[in-house]
């Protein structure tokens, strides 16, 4: 069986195709959504999801979130005395999902289709693939989130010659994709986006409004208080999704500070973010050579699209109500699982041919002749333009730039800047050329980019017919089998918290957080209830434990409601 996974910035999901529909697999707590949060305690026990998110309130120094934004980079996250890359933290989330899915289905799962933002570059896509492999999955296919969403909405069932725009605003990334249907061929016409824009930024706006209201400098606030303020800002944002105003209440230095925010105030404060959202929309339409009126349907994807200000903004731009027939939080995993069923040749799924595009321009560094006749290096020369339909192969000719040049180096770059240094370096090919005057020798450079984001670069010296070819795999990310095994063993030493103890640990962590937030008699009551529950746990009576946990949860619900 092949499963589909939405590895999200804020939440992750896993699903499979069951008979004639996709079924989302609940985690060990019975939830479809698993927060993309990882925490590690002093003993090396790993907590993932809701439990880790709760633990973040009391142990922020041992917990990490929003690490998807750092995929494909060298950034490390320090959890206690251990360092993790974003790739390794994502691996732990994937291992958690894999374990729950295998428990639920009663069989081993070896392969997965994992979704990524359409605007992820080469390094980010490879990091996602490696995270899956470190978690024990075979990952032969990566699917773009907007394409997965289009499949989930059944857009491939629509009439031919239909154009769709998928607006994907998740917790940490933003994508716009324009797709067009021709018979059973679904073609991505253009993608644009921002890998550092999402629901987290809207939460940050509310957080900053609260800080400004009370003249608080965030730099002078300790880490626990900072996490507490962010949590209350997140709750206020959720409240604004359903009501016209929300009250944010934070306890700082034994003083309770409140702030009332209205949808109108929130919308005004988010104007910079809304402007940032508009730019990729305009860019994708321009790249696809399509006008707004040519779009037949607008589809919303991602949890942040639940915000009324976002839906209002999208409706205003396109002059119509967007399609929200499927839960925006779940639509991507539905599409990824459907794509997995297509890969398995499941007869219940209508086969659709998907064509994708290269999200970023691929090119090389060149020298250009200035007006005074001197050569200036450092210029970027595009070979495969962004939003070119893949697979694609493009060839260009280049000439030696100086006298007595004996070799040519082709730097392989990815990006949109006219300055070579500002684009992403992917690798290089160096070929020897006969020594001669400037411009005497010519090399033909061929870039071939396939559907699996693999770039092949071939350089041919025309005069000697000597040829060199490499496959760009990004050395920072791509690992040998031995390195994968070594890192897998290192991660395996970390103890994932036992499935049957997850709910118990979650309620204890919640109680500990409320204990820290409370004072006086309330604090003493929480302490007594937690101690009593821990005594029940020590007796290993499953029925009594479940009953005691339910009673503790009711008590904590009462405490939290009255504290707010």
Q: In angstroms, rounded to a whole number, what is the distance separating the alpha carbons of residues 245 and 92?
A: 37
Helices 520-537/502-517 angle, 10° precision: 160
Do 335 and 375 lie in one domain? The reply is no
Do 372 and 407 lie in one domain? The reply is yes
Do 62 and 11 lie in one domain? The reply is yes
Any domain includes 20: yes
Do 299 and 446 lie in one domain? The reply is no
Q: In angstroms, rounded to a whole number, what is the distance separating the alpha carbons of residues 163 and 521?
A: 62
Active site residues: 6, 68, 145, 168
Name the token pair of 324: 């929200």
Residue labelled with tokens 């070819």: 469
Do 115 and 87 lie in one domain? The reply is yes
Q: In angstroms, rounded to a whole number, what is the distance separating the alpha carbons of residues 189 and 352?
A: 16
**What pLDDT shows up at residue 202?**
95
Q: In angstroms, rounded to a whole number, what is the distance separating the alpha carbons of residues 152 and 141?
A: 17
Any domain includes 144: yes
Candidates 485, 486, 484, 454; CA nearest to 471 is 454
Do 317 and 385 lie in one domain? The reply is no
Give bridge partners of residue 411 from the DSSP assignment: 428
For the chain, 564 residues long, the average pLDDT of each consecutive 10-residue run is 94 92 94 95 90 92 93 90 93 95 95 90 86 92 85 66 87 88 79 88 94 88 88 92 90 87 93 93 89 90 90 92 86 92 79 76 88 80 88 91 92 88 89 93 91 83 92 52 59 59 86 78 84 81 86 90 72
Do 186 and 51 lie in one domain? The reply is yes
The answer for residues whose C-beta is within 8 angstroms of residue 357's C-beta and 6 or more apart is: 188, 189, 190, 191, 386, 387, 388, 389, 390
Q: Is the dihedral of CA 34, 37, 43, 44 positive or negative?
A: positive
Do 335 and 366 lie in one domain? The reply is no
Q: In angstroms, rounded to a whole number, what is the distance separating the alpha carbons of residues 339 and 342?
A: 5
Q: In angstroms, rounded to a whole number, what is the distance separating the alpha carbons of residues 564 and 561?
A: 5
**What pLDDT shows up at residue 480?**
55
Q: How many domains does the chain have?
A: 3
* pTM for this predicted structure: 0.74
Q: In angstroms, rounded to a whole number, what is the distance separating the alpha carbons of residues 315 and 335?
A: 24
Any domain includes 245: no
Other C-beta atoms closer than 10 Å to the C-beta of 471 total 11
Any domain includes 457: yes
Q: In angstroms, rounded to a whole number, what is the distance separating the alpha carbons of residues 161 and 174?
A: 26
Do 298 and 418 lie in one domain? The reply is no
Q: Identify whether 139 is preceded by a cis peptide bond (ω within 30 of 0).
A: no
CATH, residue 439: 2.60.34.10
Domain containing residue 351: 2-197+272-357
Q: Is 544:534 a contact under the CB 8 Å cutoff?
A: no
Any domain includes 31: yes
Q: Is 366:411 a contact under the CB 8 Å cutoff?
A: no
Give bridge partners of residue 461 from the DSSP assignment: 443
Q: At which of 318, 336, 357 does a domain end? A: 357
DSSP string for 6-73: EE-SSEEEEEEEETTEEEEPP-TTS-S-EE-EEEE-TT-EEEETHHHHHHHHH-GGGEEE-GGGGTTS
* Strand order across the beta sheet in which 467-472 lies: 392-399, 442-449, 455-461, 467-472
As a residue count, the chain comes to 564
Name the token pair of 212: 């400004």
**Cα 535-541-547 angle, rounded to 5 deg:** 80
Q: At which of 357, 386, 414 does a domain end? A: 357
Phi, psi of 42 (to 5 degrees): -65, -25
Any domain includes 332: yes
Do 373 and 467 lie in one domain? The reply is yes
Q: Is 134:88 a contact under the CB 8 Å cutoff?
A: yes
Do 514 and 535 lie in one domain? The reply is yes
Q: In angstroms, rounded to a whole number, what is the distance separating the alpha carbons of residues 287 and 285?
A: 6
Q: In angstroms, rounded to a whole number, what is the distance separating the alpha carbons of residues 54 and 47?
A: 10
CATH, residue 177: 3.30.420.40
Q: Is 23:15 a contact under the CB 8 Å cutoff?
A: yes
Any domain includes 230: no
Any domain includes 256: no
Q: At which of 323, 357, 391 does a domain end? A: 357
């Amino acid at each position: 069986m092949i499963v589909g996974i939405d590895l999200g910035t804020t939440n992750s999901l896993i699903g499979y195709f069951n008979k004639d529909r996709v079924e989302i697999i609940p985690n060990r707590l019975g939830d479809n959504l698993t927060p993309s949060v990882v925490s590690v305690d002093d003993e090396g026990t790993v907590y993932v999801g809701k439990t880790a998110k709760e633990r973040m309130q009391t142990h922020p120094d041992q917990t990490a979130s929003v690490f998807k934004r750092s995929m494909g980079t060298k950034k490390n996250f320090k959890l206690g005395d251990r360092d993790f890359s974003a790739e390794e933290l994502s691996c732990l989330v994937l291992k958690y999902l894999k374990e729950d899915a295998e428990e639920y289905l009663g069989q081993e799962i070896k392969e997965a289709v994992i979704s990524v933002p359409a605007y992820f570059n080469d390094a980010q896509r490879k990091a996602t693939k490696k995270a899956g492999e470190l978690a024990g999955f075979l990952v032969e296919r990566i699917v773009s989130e907007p394409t997965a969403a289009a499949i989930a909405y059944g857009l491939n069932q629509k009439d031919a010659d239909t154009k769709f725009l998928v607006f994907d605003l998740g917790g940490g990334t933003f994508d716009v994709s324009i797709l067009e249907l021709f018979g059973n061929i679904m073609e991505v016409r253009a993608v644009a986006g921002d890998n550092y824009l999402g629901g987290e930024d809207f939460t940050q706006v509310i957080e900053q409004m609260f800080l400004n209201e009370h003249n608080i400098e965030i730099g002078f606030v300790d880490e626990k208080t900072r996490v507490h303020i962010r949590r209350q800002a997140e709750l206020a944002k959720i409240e604004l999704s359903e009501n016209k105003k929300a009250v944010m209440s934070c306890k700082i230095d034994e003083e309770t500070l409140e702030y009332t925010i209205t949808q109108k105030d929130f919308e005004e404060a988010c104007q910079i973010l809304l402007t940032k959202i508009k730019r990729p929309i305009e860019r994708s339409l321009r790249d696809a050579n399509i006008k707004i009126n040519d779009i037949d349907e607008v589809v919303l994807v991602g949890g942040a699209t639940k915000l009324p200000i976002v839906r209002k903004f999208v409706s205003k731009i396109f002059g119509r109500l967007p399609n929200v027939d499927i839960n925006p939080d779940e639509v991507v995993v539905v599409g990824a699982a459907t794509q997995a069923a297509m890969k398995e040749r499941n007869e219940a799924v209508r086969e659709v041919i998907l064509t994708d595009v290269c999200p970023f321009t691929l090119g090389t560094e060149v020298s250009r002749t200035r007006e005074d006749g001197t050569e200036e290096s450092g210029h970027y020369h595009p070979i495969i333009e962004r939003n070119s339909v893949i697979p694609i192969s493009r060839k260009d000719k280049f000439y030696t730039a100086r006298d007595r040049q004996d070799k040519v180096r082709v730097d392989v770059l990815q990006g949109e800047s006219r300055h070579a240094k500002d684009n992403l370096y992917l690798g290089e090919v160096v070929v020897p050329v006969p020594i001669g005057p400037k411009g005497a020798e010519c090399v033909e450079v061929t870039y071939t980019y396939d559907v699996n984001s693999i770039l092949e670069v071939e350089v041919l010296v025309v005069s000697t017919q000597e040829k060199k070819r490499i496959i760009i795999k990004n050395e920072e990310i791509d690992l040998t089998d031995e390195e994968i095994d070594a890192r897998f063993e290192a991660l395996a030493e970390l103890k994932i918290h036992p499935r049957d103890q997850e709910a118990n640990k979650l309620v204890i962590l919640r109680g500990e957080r409320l204990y820290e937030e409370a004072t006086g008699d309330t604090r003493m009551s929480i302490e007594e209830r937690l101690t009593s529950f821990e005594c029940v746990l020590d007796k290993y009576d499953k029925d009594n434990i479940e009953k005691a946990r339910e009673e503790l949860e009711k008590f904590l619900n009462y405490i939290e409601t009255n504290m707010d």
